[in-house]
Amino acid sequence: MSKKVATVSPETTVADTIRFLTENHIGGAPVVDRSGELVGMISELALIDVVFDEKVAKAPVSQYMTIEVQAVNPHESLARAAQLFALYAFRRLPVVENGKLVGIITRRDLMNHSLQSGQTMGDPLVEMIPGLALAR
């Protein structure tokens, strides 16, 4: 988990969010309110369709963020993170404790951890639904 997380606020404009993502070389970021509570996620994918509309550039990113966010808490296993990455198409997973953003895990973080630690993980979906192993 990375504890240093690049975030935007719900009031940040779409144009400023795009600049922020570009300058930080990231494809998305958590959206947090003033108290540090996770309120959504924004990604390049969510903005690519509207980036060329001049009216949208000044709109708050809260109008385009995903509000149904999957997250883990710092005490959950890496297997749980792997399950969520396998189930959903996102690239980053916020780590939240008591509603507050405390970190982020990316798919790349998970893969690097596995390589560096030598720990192999079973198929995350088979661990969740054991019957899938029989189908293989």
Residue 58 has pLDDT above 80, yes or no: yes
* Span 94-128, pLDDT tens digits: 999 999 999 999 989 888 888 888 766 655 554 55
**Most confident option among 3-12, 42-51, 82-91, 116-125:** 3-12
User: Confidence class of residue 25 from pLDDT cuts 50, 70 and 90?
Assistant: very high
How many distinct structural domains can be found in the chain?
1
Looking at the domain assignment, is residue 8 inside a domain? no
Looking at the domain assignment, is residue 1 inside a domain? no
CATH of the domain at 30: 3.10.580.10
Is 113 within 8 Å of 6 (Cβ atoms)?
no
